[in-house]
Every structure is written in C-alpha cells, then in structure tokens.
Amino acid sequence: MDKHSDSQNVIKLRRLSIDDKHRLVEFANNEKISINLRDGFPIPYTLTDAEKFLINVINQTPTQVFAIEFNGIYVGNIGLHLCSDVYRKSAEIGYMLDEKYWNKGIMTKAVNLICEYGFNELDIVRIHTGVFEYNKASQVVLEKCGFPKEGIFRKAIFKNEKICDEIRYALVKY
C-alpha cells in the first residue's frame, strides 16, 4: 500500500497478518480506545479475539482493513467497510491507534491514504462515518482530511450507560 513520509517519519498501510495478534491485543486493551468504539468490540480484548478478527480480515477480498505502520512499528488499524445493495458505492471508515502514538499526525495521514485507496482501487464514491460526540480527536482528524460534517444524530448513541449524539461525516469523490 502507499505510504506517506516526511524527513523523519514514514507512515504506511499494509495488509494485516496473524503475526500482528500480540501487538493488537496490547493496544486494543485500552479503555481510552474502546470508549470510542462500538460495543461489538470486546473488552477485555483477548488473544482469541485478535485471532478471530485477523483471520476474518486477512481473508477479505478486496482488502478492506489494514495495519497502520509508523516507522516500521504496527500502531493501529484502519478500514473501509464496504456497503451493499443501493449503497454499494459507499463505505464506512473506521480506525484505532495505539495511545502512545496519538497527536503525531499519524491517523490524519492514514485516513488520507485509505481514502485514496477506496476512491481509486475500490471504485467507491462516498466514505462516511459516525463519531461519538465526546471523541473530539477523531472529529479533528476527519475535518483535517476534508470530511465535512453532514449532521448530528441527536441522542443516537448509548455507550457506557450514557446517551450522546453521533456526529456524521462523509467525503465524496466527485
């Protein structure tokens, strides 16, 4: 997959491998990450969870979920989940990043890379997502990548015994 580099740092997306399971468990077991993910993401995140996830995404064709590497270190995941039926030219973006690598511009570059992949290789025309209202960092990433805010789904999320809004973003190819 393509990569972005500057004078000191290289950020690239690559296919995940079963060998990523231990590192995935290491950063996925962080409440600061899981609080921003859907409840289908198990906590605690076990080695078995990682193996099931990796086996599933490794076998996807075309590849939809990638490892994010920063200077050769696996630091997160990013994916485009292809929609179907009348939405088949759309995809939902999702991502997570090891907390140790937050605020370094990594996710902004990774989002730009996967959007380029989606538009050019997967022939999709719309990439969208919903962000929990309290996840300000993700909102900043999307806005830096040119995703306009499309709306607010008021009181749409029930997470950790609290109701909150979901902020909707989308980027279109044309």
Q: What residue ranges do the domains of the chain occupy?
A: 3-129
DSSP 8-class letter at 102: T
pLDDT of amino acid 7: 52
Residue 128 class from Cβ within 10 Å (0-12 exposed, 13-18 middle, 19+ buried)? middle
**Interval 48-61 mean pLDDT:** 95
User: Does residue 164 surpass a pLDDT of 60?
Assistant: yes
Assign 32 a pLDDT band (cuts: 50, 70, 90).
very high
pLDDT of amino acid 8: 72
- Residue 56 Cα distances to 36, 59, 63, angstroms: 22, 6, 11
Q: Which CATH superfamily is domain 3-129 in?
A: Gcn5-related N-acetyltransferase (GNAT) (3.40.630.30)
User: Does residue 163 surpass a pLDDT of 70?
Assistant: yes
pLDDT of amino acid 40: 85
Q: Which amino acid is at 136?
A: K
pLDDT in tens, 83-124: 999 999 999 999 999 999 999 999 999 999 999 999 999 999
**Interval 59-67 mean pLDDT:** 95
- Residue 153 Cα distances to 142, 150, 163, angstroms: 17, 10, 11
Least confident window among 17-26, 30-39, 110-119, 161-170:
30-39
Residue pair 83/103 in contact (Cβ under 8 Å)? The answer is no
Rg (CA), the chain: 16
